[in-house]
Structure 1
Amino acid sequence: MKKAIKLLSILFFFGVILMSCEGPAGIDGSDGTDGADGVAGADGTAICMTCHNAGTAYAAKFDQFYASAHALGTYFDRTGDCSGCHSTDGYLARMDFTSTSEIFDLDLTEQSAISCRTCHNVHTAYDATDWALTFTDQVTETILGLDNTDVASGVFEDMGDVNMCVQCHQSRNPIEVPSATSTTDVNISHYWGPHHGPQGNILNSQGGVEVGTGYPTTAFNPSTSFSHDCITCHMNEGNHSLALNESACTSCHSDIEDKLAAIQDEVEGKLTSLGRTLAALGGLDPDTETETVWNETLGEHVETIDTVGYHAMGSGYGGYGDNPVAADLGRCVFNYLIIAEDQSLGVHNPDYIITLLDNTITLVETL
């Protein structure tokens, strides 16, 4: 029995060896019949076509936006803490901040200009949700923080989608702005003041140095919902140029043009008069515009120089002033600047702006 098992083992061993031995490969045989086609995969372009299609809706918004001031006028100061509003990269970085002071640590050497990606989650899910807004949390602090609680509370109304706008359309840190009762001199300069976008403060009935009394205590709500205040007027019917479209108001206010004109005429007249007075007192320098026009009497072209606005007098940079002025004059200069920089001539909050303007004029008459 043992011999039989041994013999079988030897035969198996040699069988394995013989099976593993192969001669040279033969000529390839002919191809077999193709198998049935599998289920077709998704079209690779289908995702892209959600937006990049033959329609003109996207192209229209693109063209509108690139005619706006956001596209054309914000790419000037885009380094350091300025990049938090003057570049897409800096703006999106601010979403992760836990403190306003972190903006001073922004060190972005390559920033892109404000674009669709600043406000929308472009190329995130590659579907219609990419048009969702990027940054709509309630704005609980101003861009650079506020030292003076008389100038702003630091907390805005929760304005829903409009929070997107207020993230940047608010006063920067107003360095050395006197409170309504301070008696200490302040240093002002060309760059001193609320900066160029305090509309969020104005809408929230705050931001000026509130001398006198009579100010509204609640935010201004020009539409039926805070969440559409900016959008209703500046983006009516897909208007990505963000230019004011009065037709958004006419369904409720048939006389809107006359109402707006009356408010703006009043504010412009008072603001111009206040500016001239403050310039004479040494608080403001004029911004001028030179134009060449034909003089019929002289029979030749002449240059005209017109005053188109004012800025705080002095040459300091970054908000730090080198022109010391009395506290009352500083208050008046700051209030002039925040009304002028709001650029609505009263429309963004008529009660607040006109009250602030009238009270400031009353104060400046005592100087």
Structure 2
Amino acid sequence: MKNLKLIGFLMIIMSSFMFIQCTSDPIAGVDGKDGIDGVDGINGADGIGVQECVACHSDATRNPIHDAYAMSRHGNGSSWARGTSASCAQCHNNEGYIDYLSGNFKDGDGNQSANPVGYAVSNAITCKGCHTDHRSFDFANDGQDYAIRSNDPVKLVIDPSVVIDFTNNSDKLGLSNSCTTCHQPRNSYPVPAGTDPVVITSYRYGPHHSPQATLLEGIMGANIAGSTGYPGAGGSGDNTHRKGSSCTACHMGESADASEGGHTWKASEETCLTCHKNGVPSGVTDFDANLQSLHDLLFAKKLIDAEGYVLGDDGINRASTTNPLNASAKDAQAIWNYKTIEEDKSKGVHNPKYVKALLKNSIEYLQQ
């Protein structure tokens, strides 16, 4: 029996050798017939169109941008820690910003939002946050769009019925609208208006840290009546920065100093001199004195502390839900104006006449 099994096993092995030999025959078969030739395409001119891409997509262009960005608060600031919260993510988280602009999410009131669930991780904004695919590659006719994720007019979060569009001769594509998405008041508190008292339950009462777009537009301040007139809002006013310049024109202009302009977003002196032929203004006349005066009057009235935070009714501790400030309408308006102008950080340059009116009229009220 064992011999039979051995013979069968040897037959299987010999068959396998035969199979290998048959299937590995080195003799080639006959070639098949050639297919039909395709139609020749039209030869393009070498290099045409490539230089337009290389103008931006090259190390010579990208490296200085990366270096400049690393110097900016967008690149090295600490605010990204706030981006896990759904209400903060649209500006303090790269993914939240993208989600907000996508239009795929709504908050409880049905307004445009980042993901209401929030985010497990918050990342600083990257190139891919602000930039995406080109809208058009017909640069000759459509202009260079710089692949900005959105340059559409912006509905304000504090009041979605108000839309800002910074498109003008200095920014024909409206690229500054991308800045407006975040550099605007948050929706935590409405602008105090009318005559009804205002109950303030947070020491951080105000428009938040970025009211630049609305101040440039000449809106969302509390227009207390006084001896100083308010200029018209938007393009109807005499604010030449609003009508003749833009966020990108001033903050991203070319500069011989690598620490200014471009993606540092620090306004350069060369950019200012394109309009201010007689020298760069240091700021709005008497701005520092007027802002300090407004601070001191609010402090003396025990509405804010020395650092500018709102105090509760006890006049000692900061405002909270357990120690609210029951402010008159005008007191709340004066506080709002102080916080708006102080947080803007431009020393009134964004809208000199509007800032002057807000300061002077708030001071006049508090001195009564």
What is the TM-score with the length of structure 1 in the denominator?
A: 0.70
* AA of the residue aligned to 2:250: C
Q: Which runs of 5+ in 1 are unaligned?
A: 1-22, 34-45, 147-152, 288-309
Q: Which residue of 2 aligns with 1:58?
A: 62
Q: Which residue of 1 aligns with 2:116?
A: 105
How many angstroms apart in 1 are the aligned matches of 2:273 and 2:242?
A: 12
Q: Which residue of 1 aligns with 2:270?
A: 247
Residues 146-169 of structure 1 show CA distances to partners (whole Å, capped at 9, x for unaligned) of 7xxxxxx72324531111111111
Pairing 1:266–2:286 present: yes
Pairing 1:76–2:81 present: yes
How many angstroms apart in 1 are the aligned matches of 2:232 and 2:214?
A: 13
Pairing 1:233–2:250 present: yes
Q: Which residue of 2 aligns with 1:335?
A: 337
Residues 154-209 of structure 1 show CA distances to partners (whole Å, capped at 9, x for unaligned) of 23245311111111111112526531x31324225322110000011101111111
**Which protein is bigger by CA-based radius of gyration?**
1
Using CA pairs below 8 Å that are at least 6 residues apart, which structure has the higher relative contact order? 1
Contact 2:231 2:353 in 1 (8 A): yes
2:132 to 108, 116, 121: 121
1:92-171 equivalences under 5 Å are 92-97=98-103, 99-100=110-111, 102-103=113-114, 105-121=116-132, 131-139=146-154, 141-145=155-159, 154-159=162-167, 160-171=174-185
How many angstroms apart in 2 are the aligned matches of 1:81 and 1:320?
A: 23
How many angstroms apart in 2 are the aligned matches of 1:124 and 1:154?
A: 26
How many angstroms apart in 1 are the aligned matches of 2:184 and 2:333?
A: 18
1:191-230 equivalences under 5 Å are 191-212=204-225, 214-219=229-234, 220-222=239-241, 225=244, 229-230=246-247
Residues 33-71 of structure 1 show CA distances to partners (whole Å, capped at 9, x for unaligned) of 9xxxxxxxxxxxx9xx95675x43201000101110111
Give the superposed CA RMSD.
3.5
Q: Which residue of 1 aligns with 2:43?
A: none
Change (3 A) 1:29 1:268: same
Q: Secondary structure at the match of 1:28?
A: coil
* AA of the residue aligned to 2:122: Q
Q: Which runs of 5+ in 2 are unaligned?
A: 1-20, 32-49, 168-173, 255-260, 313-317
Contact 2:134 2:147 in 1 (8 A): no
Q: Secondary structure at the match of 2:306?
A: strand
Pairing 1:359–2:356 present: no
How many angstroms apart in 1 are the aligned matches of 2:188 and 2:305?
A: 19
* AA of the residue aligned to 2:310: A
* AA of the residue aligned to 2:125: I
How many angstroms apart in 2 are the aligned matches of 1:320 and 1:143?
A: 28
Contact 1:100 1:142 in 2 (8 A): no
* AA of the residue aligned to 2:348: G
How many angstroms apart in 1 are the aligned matches of 2:198 and 2:251?
A: 40
Change (3 A) 1:188 1:355: farther
How many angstroms apart in 1 are the aligned matches of 2:286 and 2:30?
A: 90
How many angstroms apart in 1 are the aligned matches of 2:150 and 2:133?
A: 13
How many angstroms apart in 2 are the aligned matches of 1:321 and 1:100?
A: 31
* AA of the residue aligned to 2:163: V
Contact 1:188 1:312 in 2 (8 A): no
Contact 2:311 2:325 in 1 (8 A): yes
Contact 1:187 1:321 in 2 (8 A): no
1:11-30 equivalences under 5 Å are 24-25=22-23, 27-29=25-27
Change (3 A) 1:26 1:247: closer
How many angstroms apart in 1 are the aligned matches of 2:97 and 2:209?
A: 17
Contact 2:96 2:115 in 1 (8 A): no
- How many residues are aligned here? 296
How many angstroms apart in 2 are the aligned matches of 1:224 and 1:186?
A: 37
The share of aligned pairs that are identical, in percent, is: 28
Moved over 3 A (4+): 23-27, 29-33, 49-53, 101-104, 122-126, 128-131, 314-317
